Structure formats: structure tokens, C-alpha cells
Amino acid sequence: MTHEGYAIKKILSEFEEYARAFVIPYADNYCEREYGIPMEKREKMMKIKKPDAYTSAAILLMATAAILVATALVTSLGEFVTAAFVVSGTACALIGLFMLTFTRGRTVDSRNVGILIAQWCKNISSIESDLGITGNAYFLPGRVTGEPRVMQFNPTLTFSGSDIPAKDTYSKTGAGGLIVTPSCEPWIQDLRKRNGLVIPEKEEELIILMNETVGEVFEFASRVSGSWHDNTITLTFHGYQFIDGCKAIARESEELCTMNPCPVCSLCGSLIAEGTDKIVTLDRCSVKPSTRDVTAIFTISPFRKGNASAENPPSDAASGPPH
């Protein structure tokens, strides 16, 4: 073995001795020193989460850079070899820094989140069906209910746009039904607080707002496109993150989406209702698995001030969605 080989082997052995003497004992005794937990119980209590692949690669590159530069500084390998070690170490260090800086941390699996939302929609819709509530959900602006926020209304009969108070869960005047706060309300409050949300009134600006909230702020979709024809608003979520939940709901019954909209569709319906100051309902949702696109169609309903009559629903809607 050459002189340079012996020098490199010596550096590596010294690094291993340092790790055994200081790093490993410090890590092994961390729980016991900090929390008074005996070390022999640590592995039975929890599983330490390892860094993801990008973080591990970045750390490995930084360690390699340190070894290369240290080898070049400590040993006498000649000018050309020393320069090669320094350049290689610098390159490894820069690549490691870029990986640590520009790679995103591990996020929650969107498939699991989507399936979780799907089950929630099914459960609530089953409860509503047992209470005699059928048909689509309506998003009511503040002037309809007198509340400072948009409310979600599920009627027991055909809703004709009457003035409904939201003080009681089941309204005693106007069309009978269930009035609740939309599931997206925490998001709206957070957008107002952290992002300075201002809801516009113009149609084209509302569609831009959908893309900013769903596509850019929350990143639930790569982008959101939309069109406005008379009283119909069509929104398409391109590359939708939670499409697995939409597919799970569609396999059960498409009526579940419109009867109890998921938080994302609820967010869009609430923003449209507040921006237009009109009653909005989600008419239909369709899924395109090949491109991971979801299309939601909203309709602006008429509003009649006062106690409007509630007519009997069609016979095919009386049964509601399947349990």
C-alpha cells in the first residue's frame, strides 16, 4: 500500500474512533439524559423516523466533501491530486447544499387524505338521509341567513330560495332542513388571517381566486380553470391531489358529493356564494382518472325574500343516497 493509501486509511480509522467515542454514546444516552428514560426501553417505546432519501443523500455528499478536503489538507498527495480532491470535495458540498435547500420535506400521502375525506362524506350523508334530508346542499350568503358567514343548507323538501334563519339547526320558518357551518370554514378564516383574503364580485376574478386558493396557496391541484355561463360555473381541478377520495365516493354514489360536498368543493361554493351574494349549489362532480382532473359544476339559484313554500320532492329523490 502506498503512503497516500496509509494516510487515507489512518484518517478514516481516526474518524471511526471519534464516532465510537463521542457520537454514538451521545445518541444512545440522549433519552436517558434528557427525559430520564432508560436506554434499554427506548426501542420498545418508539421508532425513530429516518430522514428521507434526498436528505440522506445530501448528508452523505456533505460528509464525502469533508473527507475529501480533509484528506487533501492533511496528506501530501502532490499538487495535481490535492487539487482534484479539493475540487471534488467542493462540488460534493455544493450539491449537498442545493439538495438541502431546494428539496421539499416529506408530506402526508394525498391518497390517504382523500380516502379519509371520502369516508367522512359517506357518514354525514347517511345521517342526513336517515333524518329525511335529500337533494343537493346549498351555500347561503349572509343576507339569506343573517349570519356573518356563508352557511350550508340541506333541505328536507325542494328548496325554492326562501329567507332562512340560521339560529336553529332545523329552521322553523321557511324551508325545513339542516343548516350547518361549511366544512371549509377553518380554511376561509385562515386565508383571511394569513393571506389577506378579499373575495371579489366579478365573475372572472372569482375564477382567478379559485386558482389562487386551491391551486397556489393550498396546492390541492396543479391549477384550476373555469368558465361562467349564465348561472352555471364550471371549475376543473387539474392534477387534483385527492382524486382517490373522489373516485371512492363516485363508486358509492355521485349524490354523496352534491349532498355533502368535500371541504375543497365546499370552499369553492362558499367563495362563489359570498362573492356573488347569491345562493349557490353544487350540481355535479365528475372524475377523469387518466389526467387526475375533477370537474365541479355549480349553479346560482334564485333568491326570494320571505317565506317561500317547500314543495314535495320527486319520488326518485325521496330515498336519498345509499347508506
Q: Provide the pLDDT for residue 162.
A: 59
Are 199 and 244 within one domain? Answer: yes
Are 149 and 258 within one domain? Answer: yes
Cα distances (Å, whole numbers) of residue 74 to 60, 61, 91: 21, 20, 19
Distance from first CA to last CA of the chain, Å, rounded? 76
Domain count, the chain: 2
Are 46 and 123 within one domain? Answer: no
Q: Provide the pLDDT for residue 25.
A: 52
**Domain end point (choices 72, 102, 132):** 102
Q: Strand order of the sheet with strand 223-229?
A: 177-180, 151-155, 138-140, 279-288, 293-301, 232-238, 223-229
Are 98 and 114 within one domain? Answer: no
Are 138 and 280 within one domain? Answer: yes
212 lies in some domain: yes
The per-residue pLDDT for range 79-119, each reduced to its tens digit, is: 788 888 888 888 988 888 888 777 766 566 777 777 777 88
Q: Would the pLDDT of 319 be above 80? A: no
322 lies in some domain: no
Secondary structure of residue 70 in the 3-state scheme: helix
Q: Would the pLDDT of 9 be above 80? A: no
Structural domain of 150: 110-317
Whole-number percent of the chain with pLDDT over 90: 20
The per-residue pLDDT for range 19-40, each reduced to its tens digit, is: 555 444 544 454 454 445 454 4
Are 92 and 132 within one domain? Answer: no
Are 194 and 293 within one domain? Answer: yes
Are 86 and 158 within one domain? Answer: no
Are 281 and 307 within one domain? Answer: yes
Are 91 and 181 within one domain? Answer: no
Gap between the Cα atoms of 78 and 25, Å rounded? 38
Closest CA to 285 of 231, 248, 322: 248
**Domain end point (choices 71, 102, 133):** 102
Are 284 and 189 within one domain? Answer: yes
**Taking residues 180-189, what's their average pLDDT?**
91
Are 129 and 252 within one domain? Answer: yes
187 lies in some domain: yes
The per-residue pLDDT for range 38-79, each reduced to its tens digit, is: 544 444 333 445 566 777 788 888 888 888 888 888 877 777
301 lies in some domain: yes
The per-residue pLDDT for range 141-172, each reduced to its tens digit, is: 988 888 889 999 888 776 666 556 555 555 54
